[in-house]
């Protein structure tokens, strides 16, 4: 992968997929600036501490980043066991806000990579809703739309991963046409990370057991990170607006 001399911003860098993505990017020659609310436990080229659930905090974090970067990996997220409002703010609204705020600083030929989920695979069933939310501009306006269209706590994680996939599809081509910056999603299945147990709790025992028979095992973070890194590299320069499952074939078993 051609990543030498690239500067990539990675959110959620302090653990799990975010930490492994930072390691992979640096191993291939990139400089990595981490963003997380928790201090990192790995070597980085720079670190910005930020709470990505608040637009003002996101704007302050962006001001601490370089005038030019080559990519953004949106990996930070909270599990579905969190309050629905927090899931919406971190996993969707904050991600959108950061991407739009950083876009003018991403060099031509750069990339944005969003981490969705295999649980977002049912997005076509709610496509009209996701398109309506995706068309709403801004963090506050998005919150207002969600106040008028509340999402059930039991399905909020799935809902916002679906919404992220649809928003990526909607926004990727206009941004690419205007700025030559690509945007794609990577959709992991279950992954051995600190929130795996919360992921299983969120799904419920019946769903978790059913899915367990469809895959060999959960993924390791270092099996997901190289796909994210590839989407930041020059070799993927003509891939835009797609959602790539990295789930050991789990999505292919769904009806």
Q: Locate the domains of the chain by residue range.
A: 7-237
Give the pLDDT of residue 203: 61
Give the pLDDT of residue 22: 98
Query: Which helix (DSSP H) or strand (DSSP E) does residue 49 occupy?
Result: strand 46-49
Can you name the CATH fold of 7-237?
Rossmann fold (3.40.50)
The number of beta carbons lying within 10 Å of the beta carbon of residue 5 is 9
Biggest CA pair distance of the chain: 49
Give the pLDDT of residue 206: 65
pLDDT averaged over 10-residue windows placed end to end, the chain, 255 residues: 96 96 98 97 97 98 98 96 96 98 98 97 97 98 98 96 98 98 96 69 64 84 98 98 96 82
Q: Is this prediction's pTM over 0.85?
A: yes
What φ, ψ does residue 74 adopt, rounded to 5°? Answer: -90, 90
Query: To 10 degrees, the CA torsion angle through 166, 198, 212, 117?
Result: 10
CA angle 10, 168, 84 (to 5 degrees): 75
The radius of gyration of the chain's CA atoms, rounded to the nearest angstrom, is 17
Cβ proximity of 1 and 233 under 8 Å? yes
Give the pLDDT of residue 61: 98
Supply the residues annotated as catalytic. Answer: 157
Which residues lie closer than 8 Å to 12 by C-beta, 6 or more apart? Answer: 18, 35, 36, 75, 76, 77, 115
Strand partners, 114: 74, 185
């Amino acid at each position: 992968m051609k990543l030498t001399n690239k500067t990539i911003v990675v959110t959620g860098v302090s653990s799990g997929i975010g930490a492994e993505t930072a390691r992979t990017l640096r191993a291939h020659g990139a400089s990595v600036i981490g963003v997380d609310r928790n201090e990192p436990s790995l070597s980085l080229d720079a670190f910005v501490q930020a709470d990505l659930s608040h637009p003002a905090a996101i704007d302050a974090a962006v001001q601490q980043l370089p005038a030019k970067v080559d990519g953004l990996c949106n990996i930070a997220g909270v599990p579905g066991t969190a309050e629905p409002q927090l899931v919406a703010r971190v996993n969707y609204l904050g991600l959108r806000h950061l991407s739009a705020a950083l876009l003018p600083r991403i060099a031509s030929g750069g990339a944005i990579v969003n981490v969705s989920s295999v649980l977002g695979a049912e997005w076509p069933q709610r496509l009209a809703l996701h398109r309506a939310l995706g068309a709403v501009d801004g963090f506050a306006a998005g919150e207002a739309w969600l106040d008028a269209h509340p999402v059930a706590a039991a399905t909020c994680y799935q809902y916002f991963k679906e919404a992220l996939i649809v928003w990526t599809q909607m926004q990727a081509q206009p941004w690419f046409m205007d700025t030559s910056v690509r945007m794609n999603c990577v959709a992991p299945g279950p992954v051995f990370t600190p929130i795996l147990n919360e992921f299983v709790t969120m799904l419920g025992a019946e769903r978790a057991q059913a899915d367990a028979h469809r895959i060999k095992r959960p993924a390791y973070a270092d099996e997901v990170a190289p796909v994210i890194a590839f989407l930041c590299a020059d070799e993927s320069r003509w891939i835009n607006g797609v959602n790539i499952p990295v789930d050991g074939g789990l999505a292919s078993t769904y009806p």
